[in-house]
Amino acid sequence: MKNSVTLTIDSQNVTVPEGTSIADAAESIGIKIPTICYHPSLTPPAICRVCTVEVEGQRTLQPACVVPVGEGMHVKTDTDRVKTARKVILELLASTVNLEEAPEIQEQIDETGADTERFEGGVKRHFEVKEDNPFYIRDYAQCIMCWRCIQVCADDVQNTYALTWGKRGLESHVATFLDEAMPNTTCVFCGNCVGICPTGALKGLIEYRSEQKKEQE
């Protein structure tokens, strides 16, 4: 049996097993903390930072998806500082990527009142749709760099290692070895990446084609 830990989240007492993340502890008392990159089946990379919360005594905000609870911890999920952080991160994301097919992120944008045009006019993630295999397409203009596809392809699930990161900074993107077409990589077309993609960046070819057709009509 694991030891249990008692803390407060938004002034409510909560007792959970040791090692539970702040996000899970919050959820157990009905406080939903938004996330983007987090997926329960994968190693959380903790990179989107929208799950950010205030933990008393910490200099910076903390990612609730990975930070474990501590005895006597005081967590606040709804302060102005947290709200501003979430709003600005969503504004930044919206200025970079096409989020039309990311309904969960759209919802977060509505909830936080993020101004999607605030950072307009800068460099965007711009890529042509890659249609290089019979199974799925890659539309990286919709890619939010949550790393899920890279992770399922690598150690977290499939151990296939077809995917990696190209460049760095805002230019970083999901890539294959030398940007080769999928059939020339180690990809086994298992479909895990398509299934786990939270936006329209990875999509079955049939679905993509039928959408295209509808658009033309």
Partner 1 sequence: MSSLNQFANDIRENQISRAALFWLRVFVQHAQNNVLRSDLWIKTGMEEGAVISGLNAADPAARVALLSNYDFFKAVRLKDQKSFSGKELDSLDWNRKYDLSLLPHVLESDDAIETRLEALWQEIGAVSPQDRAFEAVLENRASIWGENIPGRSLLPEILHEAQSIYDGWLSTPVLKRISRALKLPLSDIYGVTEFFTMYYTQPVGKKIIRICEDSACTMRGSQEIQKSLCKNLKINPGETTEDGEYTIEPIRCLGLCDHAPAALVNNTRHFELSLDKTDALLANTPDHPQTRNKIGGMVKIALSNINTIDPGSFEDYQEQGGLAALKKTLQQLTPEDVIESVKASKLVGRGGAAFPTGMKWQFTAGNPPGPRYVICNADESEVGAFKDRVLLDGDPFRIIEGLLIACYAVGAEQGFIYIRGEHRPSYERFVHAAAVMKEAGWLGTGIGGTDFNCHIAVRRGAGAYICGEETALMEALEGKRGFPRLRPPFPTTHGLWGKPTVINNVETLAKIPSIIIHGGAWYAALGTAESAGTKLFSVSGSIQRPGVYEVPFGVPLRHLIYDLAGGIAPGRELQAILTGGAAGTFLKPEHLDTPISYEAFKPIQGTIGAGTMIVFDDQVDLRHILADISGFFAHESCGKCYPCQIGSQRQAEILERIKQGRGLAEDSETLLELAQVMADTSICGLGQSAGWATVDAIKRWPNLLK
Under the rule (CB under 8 A), what is the footprint of partner 1? 45-50, 52, 60-61, 63, 66, 81, 84-85, 88-89, 92-93, 95-96, 118-119, 121-123, 145, 161-172, 175-178, 185-186
Please, what is the minimum distance in Å from the beta carbon of residue 189 to partner 1? 16
What strand order describes the sheet that includes 12-17?
12-17, 4-9, 74-76, 52-55, 62-63
Q: Between 126 and 209, whose beta carbon lies closer to partner 1? A: 126
Q: Which is nearer to partner 1, 15 or 184 (CB)?
A: 184
Q: How far is the CB of 89 from partner 1 (least distance, A)?
A: 5
Q: Residue 212 has which token pair?
A: 């295209």
- Residue 21: beta bridge partners? 68
Smallest gap from residue 59 Cβ to partner 1 (A): 9
CA distance 102 to 141: 12
Q: Given the complex with partner 1, which of 134 and 165 has the nearer CB atom?
A: 165
Q: Which ranges of the chain would DSSP assign to H, the alpha helix?
A: 22-28, 80-94, 103-112, 148-153, 192-196, 205-216
Q: CB within 8 A of 103, min separation 6: which ones?
A: none
Q: Are 94 and 88 in contact (CB under 8 A)?
A: no
Kindly state the smallest distance separating residue 21's Cβ from partner 1, in Å.
12
SS3 content of the chain, % helix, strand, coil (to 5): 30, 15, 55
CB of 129 to partner 1, least distance (A): 21
Instruction: Decide whether 16 or 64 has the Cβ nearer to partner 1.
Output: 64
Q: Which is nearer to partner 1, 26 or 187 (CB)?
A: 187
